[in-house]
Structure 1
């Protein structure tokens, strides 16, 4: 069976909605989205939406289902732990539930790992087999790719650099999107628009952000030593406003010779959350 003769389904469970799509070859051929009920305290309501959307996409050509979630996941069992913005989600065996419903292999992982796998398989930098993929949005997450695969972890928390101690908090306090609202009283979107129009205070806000991000990247370099870091997420869209300050901070690394062959690239691959979830399926690499 050739790659184009079968399909994979990717599901992105977000904090406010579920998005699901069918991937055939390298193309997202069909997609559905449904909002979560923000008043519900039953996590199974979200699971039922996942099942509903998969049913819309399911056919005999589907060989696997990948699901990305914003929380810790035991990859081997597919048990999902606390999920961002979904109350009472505790140790739900999502893999087992979905496999029982559809009788095809199901793969579940953290959404940042999905981002990294999506870039590895379908993104602008597909073909790179060793890198760290960072998502900058509500927080900061990362997936570590080695030899074209996510590195194995013992406790479901590889790549959680955003939770490491930094200044008076943790890294994602200073590298996630809410940093701008918290520090400057305005959203990153508002500040980016002002900075592009030449507002000096807005430009300095992004310079400050870039220095914090550069410090986080230095930590990742010293921990993982990747040849490449790929950055995506909502804050990555404004990278031209903070990239210079980011590199200035990175250049202060104790071993500057490391940087001779080190790269940081920004990406905005469309539908990467769904593509990345589908990329969890081993058949995505065939």
Structure 2
């Protein structure tokens, strides 16, 4: 189904100035029209839930033109909602309350076309989340505690310095990868390296822009890891990519490649690797990184699971 992206973006833009009131009104409507949904929120703060709702809506609308990232994130969100007790029959209740709230806040701007755009969008969201909900109990288990985050500002600031040379950076990454690891080259035998370079830049931008949105980022990375299995990627390729990526950052950042910046990217790549491998559904034995690989040596002091504990938080 082709969504009406511009209508969705424009209508949501009109709601944003009243975003907090909109979210509170949504929950009022949901609990009034569907009291059966209220027990799902018995042990959570509605204010926090309202914040999460807004964050999710912003993420969806901001990524309507980035379907790969959006689908991965929504599948991950669907998986986690199983753990919260969400059932398929709850989705229509949420959808009805959401549409009612949009109608209330948009007023005369809630035209038949806008309504249909949101009906279609929620239908797609539901379909993708329910697909993601088809996970085992182990896969949807949530961490019991939030761990301290990565140095998000360092990652953001250092990547900002790369962006003006993003295309050259990506091309240099592949040159480094193929020079240092010729065994990786056959993976790209049937693809355009220009397109791959563009995808790399897009992925890095997505990661950095969502460092403060761990739920969406984890879902997207798990989906990306699953897709890379189909491309022929194996666990042993991840350290090779990481080593080439760090080398390329060092080359382009020059004096700005400080020990702190280096460690920030080592940790970040460790998290990316762990989450993607989880999405790829490899066994524990298969995901063990070769001890002699450059990226493994960087990560070794913490261990990759230790790095994963620092799940993309940040102030």
Bigger helix share: 2
Give the TM-score normalised by the residue count of structure 2.
0.27
Where relative contact order (Cα < 8 A, 6+ residues apart) is larger, the structure is: 2
Greater C-alpha radius of gyration: 2
Bigger strand share: 1
